Amino acid sequence: MTHTLTEQILGGDAGEYVDRRVDRAYVHDGTGFLTLESFREMGVSPGIDPTRISVLFDHICPANTGLTADLQRELRLYARTAGMNFSDCGSGICHQIMSEGIILPGEVVVGADSHSCTGGAFGAFATGVGATDMAAIWASGETWFRVPETIGIRLEGHLSGAAEAKDLALAVVSRLGMEGATYCALEYYGDGAYTVDMEGRLCITNMGVETGAKNAIFYPDSVCRDYLAGYGHQITVRTRQDCTYKQEVQIDLDDIVPLVTVPHRVDSARPVSDLAGILVDQVLLGTCTNGRYDDLRRFASIVRGKHVKVRTIVVPASQDILLRATQDGIIADLIASGCMVMTPGCGPCLGTHSGVLGEGEVCLSTANRNFKNRMGVGGSIYLGSPSTAATTALAGCITDPEVSHV
C-alpha cells in the first residue's frame, strides 16, 4: 500500500522513529532569544548551514518595552553576525514570509512556533518545536521524529456564498475536536481540495495544530505549482495514490456556511446566524491565519464606502502584502472606513500590545485561537472569517455575511 504524503517525506511508516535533515528552520523574536540562550548553554558551534536558518521578528514589533528592545537587539546582532536569514520588525509574520517563495514541496521544515504547520500548504512536512529542540537543530542540522499516523480529510464540492477557507478550517477543528488529532498528520485531498487557492490552504493548514495535529498537508498540485512559479520556482506536482489512514473524514464544501467559534474553545464553531446580534468592542483582521492579500481585499470590498462602528484593527501579514494592498487602493479604502492599519506582524493576537482587550470586552477576530485571557485578561474572543469580521465591524455586533445588508 502506498504511503501517505507525510510518510513519504519522512521516509518511514507511521509509528517509526526517524532521523531527518532539516531543510529549513526558523524562529521569531519570542522563541529566537530562548533558542539562542539554549544554544549558548550547549557550548557547541553551529552544525547547520546558517542559510538554512531564518530569524524573523514578528511577535512584538515594534518593541513594546525597553526589555523587549534589548532582547531583540541581541538576537538581531547574533543572527546577522552568524549569517542567518534575518527579517526585522515590519517585514511580517514568520509563517507568511516563509510562504512567500521559501518553503518548497517535499521539504522538512521546523519552526519554533506551534503554527509552523502552515507550511504544509506546499506539500512540505512542516511542524513546530520548542526552543531547546530548535537549539539542537542549530547544533546538528537535523532532528528526530516519530512518524505520525494520518487522518485523511477528503474535500468535495466548492465553497459557495459567503463561506471561506476560514469557515472550513473552523469546521474541521470542531469536527475533530481540540485533541482529536493529537500527534497525527492531517492530509487534505479530493476534488474539492483543488478548488482551494493557496491563501486558503495556508489558512487551513495553519489551524491544523488546533486539533492537536503534528502537521497538516496538501498535495503540491497545479495550484501550488502556479503559485510558486510566481516566485521563480519550478516544481513537480504530486498526485495522491491509495494509502491507509488512521481515520477518514469527508467534507462537502457546498455544506460549509459562515461560522464563529464561541469563547474559550476553538472547537466550538456555530453558524454565525445562531450568534447574530452579540455586541463586540473590537474587530481584528490579520494574524498568520487571515492577514493575507485576499483577506484584506474581501474585507475592504464589504466596508468600502461605509464606516465601522467599533474599533477595527487591520494587520497585514507581511510587508509585501501591505505594499500590494496599498498599490491597489485597498489600504486607502480601509482607512477611509475608519480602520486602524498596523505594522505587519502578529499584532494584538498574543495579547502583548497593539490592541489588548480590557476586562469584559469582546473581540471578533480572524486569528486561530480564542483561549481565555489570550488578548487581554478578562476579554472574550470569537473567531470568524474576514467577511464575518467585516460585517461585524460595520454593525457593531456579530453579523452573518450571508444575509448582511449593513
Short-list 168, 195, 149, 386, CA closest to 290: 386
- For residue 406, what pLDDT is reported? 46
Give me 355's grid cell.
490592541
Collapsed DSSP state (helix, strand, coil) of residue 94? helix
Assess contact for 251 and 163: CB atoms under 8 A.
no
- For residue 46, what pLDDT is reported? 82
Q: Is the dihedral of CA 397, 401, 404, 406 positive or negative?
A: positive
Could you read off the pLDDT of 302-327 as tens digits, one per residue?
999 999 999 999 999 999 999 999 99
- Residue 111 has φ and ψ, to the nearest 5°, of -125, 150
Short-list 93, 159, 175, 211, CA closest to 387: 159
- For residue 171, what pLDDT is reported? 98
DSSP E strands, 244-365: 247-252, 259-261, 269-271, 282-285, 311-314, 340-341, 362-365
Contacts of 115 (CB under 8 A, 6+ apart): 95, 128, 206, 209, 288, 289, 368
pLDDT grade for 286, boundaries at 50, 70 and 90 = very high
Q: Is the pLDDT of residue 328 over 90?
A: yes
Could you read off the pLDDT of 177-195 as tens digits, one per residue?
999 999 999 999 999 999 9
For the chain, which domains are there?
17-146 (3.30.499.10), 149-255 (3.40.1060.10), 260-395 (3.30.499.10)
**pTM for this one?**
0.96
Could you read off the pLDDT of 360-378 as tens digits, one per residue?
999 999 999 999 999 999 9
Residues facing 143 on adjacent strands? 20
Q: Which residues of 278-291 are buried (b: 16+ CB within 10 A; e: fewer)?
A: eebbbbbbbbbbbb
